[in-house]
Amino acid sequence: MRIAVDVSIQENALVTGVERVQRSLLEALAAVDEENEYLLVSKRELDLGLPLSDRFRRVAAVKDGPTYLWRERVVPSLLTRERIDVFHSPVSATPVLGKARKIATVHELPWVERDAQVPHGEVVRRGHRVWLFLNVRYASRIVAVSNRTRDNILSLYPDAGEKIEVIHHGVDPRFRRLDDPPARGEFLARLGVPDRPFVLFVGTLRRKKNLRALVEVFSELPEAMRETHALVLAGVRTPAWPELEERIEAHGLAGRVFLPGYVSDDDLVTLYNLADALVYPSLFEGFGLPPLEAMACGTPVVASSGGAIPEVVGRAALTFPPGDRGALRGALERVLGEPDVAADLARKGRRHARRFTWEKTAERYLALYRELAEE
């Protein structure tokens, strides 16, 4: 079987959510599949830096212009020329043309999450809606990363049920409890964070992450907790960054809330291990990896019930309605003020995170590839 994978998203300068997911899946496929051939297709030459075998061949189908035109004008002929059986896109963008069986992975549908009122009306491109329509019409299968995403697709296209398969993400094995973490003070100083207990958020600093509310709730914690703990918001700088800095200044939290920016995966492991808790207040998520990664590192998790987050964290986190600031404050006070609660969450979290492995995820995708190739 010959499988083509669109890796054009790896051209992004910083590897974050969707890019990290694809890299983990490719590594897991290389480990579990010793039979099939893979063609990794991109618009330009890429060095993925992944430990892949010779069965994974890279092809740069160079073409100027928008990526969506590249998928329609260049990729279909490449699939025919390379005799590809299955084409897999890591996002909801697959070419309409071409004879290969096609799979699109859909992560989330923000415009369907009507209960999530994103501040300032975060815009969802019309192109996302168009791609979903084309996937429902022309893709052989749609992989939803959660039951929540599947249900959102079905709310728009009730007849698409037979095309949709739910496959959860895994947790990269690097996320684990460290027996000998780096020297705490030196590590935190490198990130511009003081050596004191801290609550951690991890994720791209977008408005849907509800970080303005988190900063305001942090400012309302009991004085003893504010004096003792810092709040660290680790993630890629976005247009929401200046607004966050303004809120931090307005609430008198300069020197207590820190934004180290993008953090590498290796440093993330250490951050999770050093944090007293991870807080994840998103209005909605199609999946949400940081809570599971934190759990795998033995870090207690406080998370909203927005989107698919409850499906992902199960009963191993303290959860709260995303719009309920009082509930968020209460959850933070519990995890920071009650050691028994924090220890219980840490135990439950590590056990829960073991259910999500990339090996299991890769086996599910491989079974889907085989099923489509035989149709």
SS (H, E, C) the chain: CEEEEECHHHHCCCCCHHHHHHHHHHHHHHHHCCCCEEEEEECCCCCCCCCCCCCEEEEECCCCCCHHHHHHHCHHHHHHHCCCCEEEECCCCCCCCCCCEEEEEECCCHHHCCCCCCCCCCCCCHHHHHHHHHHHHHCCEEEECCHHHHHHHHHHCHHHHHHEEECCCCECCCCCCCCCCCCHHHHHHHCCCCCCCEEEEECCCCHHHCHHHHHHHHHCCCHHHHHHCEEEEECCCCCCHHHHHHHHHHCCCECCEEEEECCCHHHHHHHHHHCCEEEECCCCCCCCHHHHHHHHCCCCEEEECCCCHHHHHCCCCEEECCCCHHHHHHHHHHHHHCHHHHHHHHHHHHHHHCCCEHHHHHHHHHHHHHHHHHC
Structural domains in the chain plus CATH codes: 2-170+357-374 (3.40.50.2000), 184-353 (3.40.50.2000)
109 touches 153 (CB < 8 A): yes
Strands 277-280 and 318-320: what pairing?
Answer: unpaired
Q: Is the pLDDT of residue 141 over 50?
A: yes
Position 240 scores a pLDDT of: 74
Stretch 77-102: mean pLDDT:
93
Which candidate, 12, 19, 54, 14, places its Cα nearest to that of 33?
54
Higher-pLDDT residue of 331 and 181 is: 331
| pLDDT tens column, 202-256 | 998 888 899 999 999 999 999 999 899 999 999 988 777 788 888 899 888 889 9
pTM of the model: 0.93
Strands 257-261 and 301-304: what pairing?
Answer: unpaired
Position 58 scores a pLDDT of: 94
Stretch 41-53: mean pLDDT:
90
Q: Which of 52-61, 139-148, 305-314, 326-335 has the lowest mean pLDDT?
A: 52-61
Position 115 scores a pLDDT of: 53
b/e per residue 49-80 (b: at least 16 CB within 10 A): eeebeeebeeeebeeeeeeeebbeebbbebbe
Confidence band, pLDDT 50/70/90 cuts, at residue 101: very high
CA 318/CA 303 separation, integer angstroms: 6
Token pair 């303004």: residue: 246
CA 361/CA 238 separation, integer angstroms: 30
Q: Is the pLDDT of residue 267 over 80?
A: yes
